[in-house]
A and B are shown apart, each in its own frame.
Chain A
Amino acid sequence: MTGAIATHTLFPQTQNIRSTQPIESGIQFTTTTGSQWRISVTKAPILNAEQMDQLTSSKNLQVPYPEMFFGFNKLTMSNEATSGVVVDFSAVDALQCVEFGSTEAMDSVKVAFSKEWTEKSEKLHGKIKQIAKPYDWTYTPKKYSGSVKGPQQFTTTESKIDVEMLKRNDPILWYDEVVLYEDELGDNGSCTLTARVRVMPTCFLILLRYFLRVDGVLFRVHDTRLFHAFHSTTVIRETSTRECSYDRVLGKVPGGAGVFSGGANSSGRDLSLLNKGDWVAQGMPDPLYLEGSGKGVADGVTMSVERDELSLVVKK
C-alpha cells in the first residue's frame, strides 16, 4: 500500500479574526500518486436580515431560518484538478433538505408538554390555528450528506471506512470544525449541524454531524463520514442515523438515573452534558458495526446506516 501526502501547505498565512467577511482556511496537498487536493472551511458570522432576504428569494428557501444560521459557512473537499470531484457541506444546502409544508413536517416531533398545552389552547383559544405551512422545526437535514459536483456520483458499496487507519497515532496535519447552523428550539432543546475534518499523512476524514435534543422527548444523531485513503481511488461515505428516548441519555448523566421532570425539581441537577452532541453520541451504540446498508435497534437506540463510494477517475 502506497499513497501518502508528498507536500502540503496550509492557508491563509495570516487573517484578521475580527473580519465579518467570510474567511476560507484549509490545506492544499499533493499525494505521492500525484493526486491534488484542497480541503477548506469557510467561516463568517450569522446572516443578517438583508442577507437572509436575498437568500430566501435567490434560492426560494421557504423554511424560516434557524436562530443561528451561518449561511456563508461550509466545508469543501476538492480533488478538482485531478478527478473533477468536489464535495461541499454547506449550511444553505442542508437547510434546503429540511421538510417544509409537507405531511412529514406537520407530523414532526412535538415538545414534551405539547399534548396538555394543545388541549388547554383549544379550550381557551379554539380559533387560533397552527401556522399555515408547518416546517420541521427540529431542522433535521433529511438525507443531506453533502453536495457532489463533478463527473462521478456516489454508488452503493460494501466497502467500509478503514477504522484501523484512523486509530493509528499519526500526526494530524490539519484539523478544523465549522458550525453550519444551530437552534435552541425556543429552549425546548437544541439542534446543531457541524462539519469537521482531519487530514493525516495517509488519509483524511470528514464528519458532518447533526445533533438534536428535544427535552423530555428524544435525542437524534445523524452522521455523514467521508473517508479517503490516499492509496485508494475511492472516497467512502457512511451515512448513519441514531435516535433514542430522552430518558435513556438522561440516565447516563452523572448523578444517577432520572426521568424528565419538566425541570420544576427544586434541588436542581447539572444537565449541561445534554448539550454536548459528542458526549451523547458516544453513549450510543456505534451504527457502523452494521454490515452493508441496514437498520437495527440496539440498546434502546434505533439506527440505520448506508454506505456508498465515489471513484476518483483521473481526468484525461
Chain B
Amino acid sequence: MHLDACIALCYERKLLSESVVRELCEKAKEVLLKEGNVQTVAAPCTVVGDVHGQFYDVLEIFKITGKCPDVNFVFLGDYVDRGFYSVETIMLLICLKIRWPHRITLIRGNHESRAVTQTYGFYAECMRKYGSSNVWTYITDLFDYLVLAAVIEESIFCVHGGLSPSIHTIDQIKIIDRFKELPHEGPMADLVWSDPAPNTHIQNQRFTGGGDDTKGDFQISPRGAGYLFGKQVTRQFLDTNGLGHICRAHQLCMEGYQILFDDLVSTVWSAPNYCYRAGNLASVLQIGPELDRFFNVFGPKFEGL
C-alpha cells in the first residue's frame, strides 16, 4: 500500500489492516535502526509530551502548530495506553516517521513497553479492535527501536522521564544497547521513569529535613525503586554537556506544563482532560529559531463525551 494513502487513512482515524501494520512496523524498524540513541534536532521545532491514545487531541496539536513535514516535531513518548485510540495514534506517528524521518523524532516513553501495555489498555485495545494480539506484538516489537533522547541545537535535552545517576554525559546514553524491552533498573529505565524531586524552593513544605535532598542530589523514591533528580544534579548534567535546559514529559500537570528548578527543567504534558476525567489543560512546547520557548496551551476536544 502506498505510504501517503496510509497517512491519509490514519488522519481519518481508519484502522489499518493487520498485514499493513506489520509491513509499516518493519519499515519503521529499518528507519529507526539507523538512528542513534540520541537524535540531534534543529530549531525551530515543536516538542510534544504524553498523548496516551487521545487521537483527537493529537489532531488538535497538528491544527495548532501545523503538520509534519511543515513543522519539525519531537515527541517525548507515551503514545499508547489509557486513551481510546492508542492503535490509531501510534500508527499515525509511525507513518509520519517513515515518510519524513528527519522531520519527526519519536522518543521512547515508559509506556512503550510490553509489560506496561498489558495492564494499562493498549493490549486490550488491540485485542478488541483486531481480535488477536498480533498487532500488539508488531507494535511493541517496534517500541524496542525507539530512540532514548534528543538534543535540540546542542542546547535543549529532551527525554521522557529524566536523569539517571549512571549518566553523566550524553555519550554515555549513546552507548546504551537500547534494542530491548525496557528494563526495571539501570540507565535506560531511569531515562524513561525518573521524576524531578518535588519543589524544594518552598522551604520544608513537601520534603523537609536535612540530608541530600535540600542540595538537589538524586534521591531514591519511597516506592523502593527509581530515582528523583534534584536541582544540583540537573545543573551538573547541563554544565558537563554544555546544555541549557531539560525538556521532559511523564507527569500530569493541570496547567499542561510546569517549569522547575529556576527554569532548568520543564515538563510538557500533551493529553488534555487526561483519562477523560482529570479536567487538566495540555500544551506543546514551541521552540523558536533563537531557542525561545513558548508553551502553547490547549484544552480537550471532548472525544470521550
Given A56-B202, A117-B185, A129-B211, A263:B118 Cβ within 8 A: yes
Main secondary structure of the interface of B (DSSP, over half): loop
**Interface segment, one of B38-46, B58-66, B277-285:** B277-285
Candidates B110, B165, B181; contact of A128 at CB < 8 Å = B165
Note all chain B residues with C-beta closer than 8 A to A101.
208
Q: Are A263 and B218 in contact (CB under 8 A)?
A: no
B120 at the interface (CB under 8 A from A): yes
B20 at interface by CB-CB < 8 Å: no
CB under 8 Å from chain A, chain B span 176-211: 181, 184-186, 193, 195, 197-198, 202, 205-211
Contacts of A263 in B (CB 8 A): 113-116, 118-119
**Does A46 interact with chain B (Cβ within 8 Å)?**
yes
Asked if B212 is an interface residue, CB under 8 A from chain A, the answer is: yes
If A117-B185, A264-B115 touch, whether A130 touches B219 (CB-CB below 8 Å) is yes
User: How far is A63 from B227 in the complex, measured between Cα atoms in Å?
Assistant: 18
Mask of A35-54 contacts with B, CB within 8 angstroms, 1/0: 00000000011111101010
- The interface size of chain A toward B, counting residues with CB under 8 Å, comes to 62
The distance from the CB of A88 to the nearest CB of chain B, in whole angstroms, is 21
A268 vs B210: C-alpha distance in the bound complex, in angstroms?
Answer: 45
Assess whether B9 is interfacial by the CB under 8 Å rule.
no
Which residues from B are CB-within-8-Å of A133? 207-209
Q: Could you tell me the distance in whole angstroms from the C-beta of A267 to the nearest C-beta in chain B?
A: 7
**A124–B165 touching, CB < 8 Å:** yes
Bound complex: CA A110 to CA B114 (Å): 22
Q: 8 Å CB contacts to A: which residues of B28-73? A: none
Residue of A nearest to B250 (CB): A186
Task: Judge whether B223 and A111 touch: CB under 8 Å.
Answer: yes
B222 & A272 in contact (Cβ 8 Å cutoff): no
**Complex: A106 Cα to B220 Cα, angstroms:** 12
Asked if A114 meets B223 with Cβ closer than 8 Å, knowing A268-B114, A272-B124, the reply is: yes
- Can you list 27 residue pairs at the A/B interface with Cβ under 8 Å? A45-B279, A46-B252, A46-B254, A46-B278, A47-B254, A49-B254, A64-B198, A67-B252, A68-B274, A113-B184, A114-B224, A116-B185, A118-B220, A121-B220, A124-B165, A128-B165, A128-B219, A128-B220, A129-B217, A131-B213, A187-B111, A187-B116, A187-B193, A188-B223, A264-B181, A270-B127, A272-B118
